[in-house]
């Protein structure tokens, strides 16, 4: 365990990034958090963490698209957890060039800075969306890649850049490919917060998109544990590694489970605005986590239907607090 050493988290102001910062701090790391520059000086979700925690974080506001900005933030950091990314699939239909700038050029900046600074390890964040609809299950790392959205295409490009730096320059890179992560602080554009926030606000007619696609949902603390496990194993260098619960459930079944956990009867309304273009919808994601388990000591704590139910209940508890629910535009379709 690389405790007492400085590490950088890009995208620390986001959903997974803020949780990863907390977990790293709890394990004794000296954390530098790279957050997107804004005129309000906001630290994103890090603003909601108790000051007893954030007082020990070094915050840098910058932009992953600017090489000087990210290189300066990486100085003297042993490990870089690269999470900064544009991730909303619907918005990638509207503004695809911004995904190229942020996800591909931003990753290039991190990799080139790591090469010049001799950074000990870069853990680059991929996504299960790079696989597209499963051609076989469970999906292993050998599954073919298929970009069914501009977002997925940008992440495939970023992943390939990371692999190229390992092969060309021996830049110490590991690529973690998380399947669908959920939990407290997630954007309401994601399906689980969409369902919970609508029910928690008193609505019994819940607007959703397609119900038949399946997902392999992963509670956020399991994803964060996977990042740390990959960073601290020499076996993971140059590898692309799935982080998955190896459990599959449909969107419709997920909505039913959430309504049961919240003890609310709901009617699901199909909202055309929330539907992806037919050939862009990823219909099945169900991951194989055996490589991660074989290369590290990682095990999911929220696997299977029992673990998923526990994770859903924890997520419901957080979103149901008025102070948290008030941060969301309930019922509005967020892209």
Q: How far is CA 80 from the centre of its chain?
A: 15
Write down all domains in the chain, each with its CATH number in brackets.
Answer: 6-183+219-247+286-295 (3.40.50.720), 191-212+248-284+309-325 (3.90.25.10)
Among 135, 187, 220, residue whose Cα is nearest residue 319? 187
Give the Cα separation of 308 and 247 in Å (integer).
Answer: 9
| 92, 155 Cβ separation under 8 angstroms | no
With tokens 């008025």, the residue in question is 322
Span 35-53, pLDDT tens digits: 999 999 999 999 999 888 8
Distance (Å, whole) CA 286 – CA 273: 26
Answer yes or no: are the C-beta atoms of 69 and 38 closer than 8 Å. Answer: no
Kindly report the pTM of this predicted structure.
0.96
Residues classed as catalytic: 151
Positions of the chain with pLDDT lower than 50, given as ranges: 1-2
Tokens 């102070």 belong to residue: 323
Q: What is the pLDDT of residue 3?
A: 63
- The pLDDT tens digits for 98-148 are 999 999 999 999 999 999 999 999 999 999 999 999 999 999 999 999 999
Give pLDDT, residue 249.
98
Residue 273: the pLDDT is 82
Query: Rounded CA gap, 302 and 102, in Å?
Result: 31
> Measured over all CA atoms, what is the biggest interatomic distance in the chain, rounded to whole angstroms?
57
């Amino acid at each position: 365990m690389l405790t007492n050493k400085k590490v950088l988290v890009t995208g620390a102001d986001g959903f997974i990034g803020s949780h990863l910062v907390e977990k790293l701090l709890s394990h004794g790391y000296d954390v530098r958090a790279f957050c997107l520059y804004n005129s309000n000086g906001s630290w994103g979700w890090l603003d909601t963490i108790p000051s007893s925690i954030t007082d020990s974080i070094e915050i840098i506001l910058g932009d992953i698209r600017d090489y000087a900005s990210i290189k300066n933030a990486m100085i003297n950091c042993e490990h870089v957890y690269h999470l900064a990314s544009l991730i909303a699939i619907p918005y990638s239909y509207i503004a695809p060039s911004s995904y190229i700038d942020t996800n591909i050029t931003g990753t290039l900046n991190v990799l080139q800075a790591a090469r010049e600074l001799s950074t000990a390890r870069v853990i680059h964040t991929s996504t299960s969306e790079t696989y597209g609809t499963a051609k076989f299950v469970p999906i292993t790392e050998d599954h073919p890649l298929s970009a069914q959205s501009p977002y997925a295409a940008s992440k495939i490009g970023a992943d390939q850049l990371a692999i190229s730096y390992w092969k060309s320059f021996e830049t110490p890179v590991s690529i973690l490919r998380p399947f669908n992560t959920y939990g407290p602080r997630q954007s309401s554009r994601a399906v689980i917060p969409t369902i919970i926030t609508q029910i928690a606000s008193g609505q019994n007619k819940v607007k959703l998109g397609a119900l038949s696609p399946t997902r392999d949902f992963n509670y956020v603390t399991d994803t964060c544990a996977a990042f740390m496990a990959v960073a601290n194993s020499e076996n993971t260098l140059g590898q692309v590694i799935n982080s998955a619960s190896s459990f599959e459930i449909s969107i419709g079944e997920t909505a039913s489970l959430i309504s049961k956990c919240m003890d609310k009867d709901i009617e699901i309304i199909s909202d055309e605005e929330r539907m992806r273009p037919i050939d862009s919808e990823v219909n099945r994601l169900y991951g194989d986590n055996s490589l991660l388990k074989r290369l590290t000591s990682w095990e999911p704590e929220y696997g299977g239907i029992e673990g998923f139910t526990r994770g859903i209940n924890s997520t419901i508890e957080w979103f149901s607090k008025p102070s948290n629910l008030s941060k969301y535009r309930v019922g509005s379709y967020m892209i």
